């Protein structure tokens, strides 16, 4: 290669890898945190030995103050070592026929293809395995997962999950998508990723051009707070939507982060403005190390009541509890249906006014 060409190629790869440069600038050691955090240095060190800290420079730049809603999601707290909850309350390991597959529902499976994330969320349900050397996913296991799906004709929907599937290289992800698309009974592929929120630079034209070859593809992302929506995340979501990918959002209800109805209402409205449909709000799972984030059920019900009827119906997510022991997601609704009596249906509307519907 002549020098000029070499230079061009390196310029291109440099440009392509902006997200990698941001990841390389992740904060993993206490010493790299700003001065205001140093008073907690010993605690943070202790926690991150068990549950690693890794905050990329983009997500870190969203923090305005110590203990703000962004800070709480990414900086370790000593409270992570102070509860006695189970590591795997959803019994994912027990409904796992092969290492990377969770098969809990009749017609769809979760396929964990990465144990890395762009940032490690302190409240993560899979805290037991993401971001640690304890659980590296091998190519053999991925092949095993693909074979499992191929040999189960009842599976029509696969959810690529992790960790974060978009932490793979485009070519690695394409390798998996290509093989999945050869499975005739597989109708849809979903990708669960927090990248549009935590590392929107990962969404490149190359990625979108690759993904759209494997339609129907759906992406469910994960924003928890309106302040996570920036110019960058808007750009990422717009690119994915322009590639024909319907976008949904799954939030986790977190104490002190997004448990105020006003915050959640703003979040769902802003999500719609970037073509992301709010899909689920999860009651926080009973996972070891996350107890301090859990809210009472009432908080979620209040949120739904504050959204339904008061803003676009498109903005209303399902509030669900992922039942302990692998029972699956169970929707929790405010009581709009009051009772049923002599062919009459007694109802309450979003303003708590009473109505009666008479059956035919």
Ligand X SMILES: *Cc1c(COP(=O)(O)O)cnc(C)c1O
On whether the CB atoms of residues 151 and 183 are closer than 8 A, the answer is no
Contacts of 309 (CB under 8 A, 6+ apart): 349, 350, 351
Cβ proximity of 328 and 322 under 8 Å: yes
Rounded to an integer, what distance in angstroms lies between the CA atom of residue 265 and that of residue 48? Answer: 33
Considering the rule CB under 6 A, would residue 102 count as an interface residue with ligand SF4? no
The sign of the CA dihedral 180, 185, 188, 192 is: negative
124 an active-site residue? Answer: yes
Q: Is 307 helix (H, G, I), strand (E, B) or coil?
A: helix
Under the criterion CB under 6 A, does residue 108 sit at the interface with ligand X?
Answer: yes
CA angle centred on 278, ends 291 and 91, rounded to 5°: 40
Q: How far is the CB of 282 from ligand SF4 (least distance, A)?
A: 10
Instruction: Confirm whether 35 is a catalytic residue.
Output: no
Which of 37, 54, 100, 124 is flagged as catalytic?
124
254 lines the binding site for ligand X (CB under 6 A): no
Residues 191-210 contacting ligand SF4, CB under 6 A: 194
CB of residue 114 to ligand SF4, shortest distance in Å: 9
Decide which of ligand SF4, ligand X, none touches 117; Cβ closer than 5 to 8 Å per partner kind: ligand SF4
Which strand (E) or helix (H) includes residue 271?
Answer: helix 261-273
Q: Which of 54, 121, 197, 237 is catalytic?
A: 121
Under the criterion CB under 6 A, does residue 129 sit at the interface with ligand X?
no
| CB 220 to ligand X: min, Å | 8
Is position 104 annotated as part of the catalytic site? yes
159 binds, among ligand X, ligand SF4, none (CB under 5 to 8 A by kind): ligand X
Catalytic residue list contains 194: no
Specify whether 88 is catalytic.
Answer: no
Minimum distance of ligand X from residue 124's CB (angstroms): 14
Which one of 70, 110, 186, 299 is in contact with ligand X (CB under 6 A)? Answer: 110
- Contact region for ligand X (CB under 6 A) — 50-58, 105-113, 233-241, 261-269? 105-113
Per-residue burial over 33-59, b if 16 or more Cβ lie within 10 Å, else e, is beeebeebeebbeebbeebebbbbebb
Establish whether the linkage from the previous residue to 105 is cis, with ω within 30° of 0: no
d(CA 21, CA 81): 32
- Tell me: cis bond preceding 65? Omega within 30 of 0 counts: no
The yes-or-no answer on residue 117 being catalytic is yes
Instruction: Report if residue 130 touches ligand SF4, rule: CB under 6 A.
Output: yes
The verdict on whether 105 is a catalytic residue reads yes
Report the residue number, 78 or 333, with the smaller CB distance to ligand X. 333
Residue 320: CB minimum distance to ligand X, A:
8
Among 69, 76, 163, 278, binds ligand SF4 (CB under 6 A): 163
To ligand SF4, the closest distance from the beta carbon of 164 in angstroms equals 5
- The listed partner (ligand X, ligand SF4, none) that binds 126, CB under 5 to 8 Å by sort, is ligand SF4
Instruction: Give CA–CA dist 327/250, Å, rounded.
Output: 19
Q: Which stretch binds ligand X (CB under 6 A): 12-20, 97-105, 258-266, 287-295?
A: 97-105
* Contact residues for 274 (Cβ-Cβ < 8 A; gap 6+): 229, 233, 234, 237, 238, 241
- Residue 329 touching ligand X (CB under 6 A): yes
**Pick from 124, 219, 239, 320: which binds ligand SF4 (CB under 6 A)?**
124
Maximum CA extent, the chain: 87
| 3-class DSSP assignment, residue 170 | helix
Using CA atoms, how far residue 228 sits from 28, 45, 86, 94, in Å, is 21, 26, 29, 34
Q: Rule CB under 6 A: which residues touch ligand X?
A: 102, 104-105, 108, 110, 159, 329
Residues that are catalytic: 104-105, 108, 117, 121, 124, 126, 285, 322, 329
């Amino acid at each position: 290669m002549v020098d000029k060409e070499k230079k061009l190629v390196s310029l291109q790869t440099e440009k392509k890898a902006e997200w990698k440069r941001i990841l390389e600038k992740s904060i993993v050691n206490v010493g790299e945190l700003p001065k205001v955090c140093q008073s907690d240095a010993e605690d943070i060190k202790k926690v991150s030995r068990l549950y690693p800290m890794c905050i990329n420079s983009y997500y870190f730049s969203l923090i305005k103050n110590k203990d703000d809603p962004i800070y709480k999601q990414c900086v370790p707290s000593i409270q992570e070592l102070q509860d006695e909850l189970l590591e795997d309350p959803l019994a994912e390991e027990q409904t796992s026929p092969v290492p990377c597959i969770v098969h809990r529902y009749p017609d769809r499976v979760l396929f964990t293809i990465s144990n890395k994330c762009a940032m490690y969320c302190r409240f993560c349900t899979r805290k037991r395995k993401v971001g640690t050397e304890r659980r590296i996913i091998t190519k053999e296991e991925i092949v095993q997962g693909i074979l499992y799906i191929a040999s189960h004709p009842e599976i029509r929907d696969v959810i690529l999950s992790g960790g974060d599937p978009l932490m793979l290289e485009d070519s690695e992800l394409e390798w998996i998508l290509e093989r999945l698309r050869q499975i005739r009974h597989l109708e849809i592929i979903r990708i669960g990723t927090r990248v549009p929120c935590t590392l929107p630079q990962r969404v490149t034209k190359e990625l979108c051009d690759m993904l759209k070859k494997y339609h129907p593809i759906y992406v469910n992302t994960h924003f928890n707070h309106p302040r996570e929506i920036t110019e960058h995340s808007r750009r990422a979501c717009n690119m994915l939507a322009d590639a024909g990918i319907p976008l949904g959002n799954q939030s986790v209800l977190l104490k002190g982060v997004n448990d105020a109805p006003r915050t959640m209402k703003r979040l769902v409205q802003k999500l719609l403005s970037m073509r992301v449909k709010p899909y689920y709000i999860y009651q926080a799972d009973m996972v070891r190390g996350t107890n301090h984030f859990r809210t009472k059920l009432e908080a979620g019900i209040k949120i739904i009541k504050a959204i339904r009827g008061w803003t676009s119906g498109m903005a209303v997510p399902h509030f669900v509890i992922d039942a302990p022991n692998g029972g699956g997601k169970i929707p929790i609704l405010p009581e709009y249906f009051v009772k049923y009596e002599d062919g009459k249906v007694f109802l309450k509307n979003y303003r708590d006014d009473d109505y009666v519907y008479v059956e035919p």
